[in-house]
Amino acid sequence: MISNYKAIIFDMDGVLVDVKSSWAKVHESFCVDNEDSLNAYKDGIINDEEFIRRDIALWKTECPQISREDIKNILKKVPKMKGFSDTIPYLHDRYTLGIISGGLKPLAEFIGVDHFDFILANDLEEKNGELTGEGIVEVKLDGKGVVFEKLISRLGIEKERCIALGNSHFDVPMIKKAGLGIAFNPDDQEIVDAADLVIEEKDLSLLIDRLDL
Ligand SMILES: [Mg+2]
């Protein structure tokens, strides 16, 4: 059946893919650790652009000429969430689908290009086949609410007719603005407390069953 909802907006990491962080997946593959800059970001000492710049600098210490394609190849190994292959094409036939992610755009494009009407995530600037060291910030970690509002107004869809899903406190501003906010595979209590509906199981097909979509 077709419900009153028009659009479904997904966080990526922990929701569409079964990893907590696409950034961490790349760090792991280079055996680097960004704890210092993560703490500096949490303490408000650095902004999103500087956080990304420091992450890319870590990769470049291991592989100075790394390209966006190299990063995409690393990220291709990230598993899609259970239920993705059956559920997402089914939903895409019926609803506008989008990704709003603080994760890496090369991964969002790889999993989403065939099934999502728009993809907002954070990208890596490249010149002459090499990362320049700068990021392209489309979604600030604490800015998902603003991005969500801009996007649905551009699409001309009322927020009441949107469903939004996220797994962490970074998604709270987004799911609170949506007509229906879902905590999927929740990683912390804040997202659970903010949600209209909680799906603990890591299985996207439950969306169709639970919401009668
Ligand atoms: Mg997430």
How far, in Å, is the centroid of ligand 1 from the Cα of 141?
10
205 in any annotated domain: yes
Ligand 1 centroid to residue 107 C-alpha, Å:
13
Give pLDDT tens digits for 182-213: 999 999 999 999 999 999 999 999 999 888 88
Domain interval for residue 31: 7-211
Instruction: Name which of 159, 29, 195, 200 is nearest 107 in CA terms.
Output: 29
| The total number of structural domains that make up the chain | 1
* Ligand 1 centroid – CA 132 distance (Å): 26
Q: Give the Å distance between the CA of 136 and the centre of ligand 1.
A: 19
Mean pLDDT confidence for 139-147: 95
- Furthest-apart CA atoms within the chain: distance in Å: 52
Percent of the chain with pLDDT over 90: 95
- Give the model confidence (pLDDT) of 152-161 as tens digits: 999 999 999 9
Number of C-beta neighbours around residue 153 at 10 A: 11
Q: Is residue 2 part of a domain?
A: no
The enclosing domain of 78 has a CATH number of: 3.40.50.1000
**Alpha carbon 50 to chain centroid, angstroms:** 19
**Rounded Cα distance, 12 and 31, in Å:** 23
Q: What is the pTM of this model?
A: 0.95
14 in a structural domain: yes
CB half-sphere exposure, 10, CA atoms < 13 A: 29
Residue 1 counted as domain residue: no
pLDDT digits (tens, 9 = 90+) for 26-59: 999 999 999 999 999 999 999 999 999 999 999 9
DSSP state letters, 63-125: -TT--HHHHHHHHTTSPBPTTHHHHHHHHHTTSEEEEEEEEEHHHHHHHHTTT-SEEEEEEEE
> Separation of 128 CA from ligand 1 center, angstroms?
31
Cβ pair 98, 118 in contact under 8 A: yes
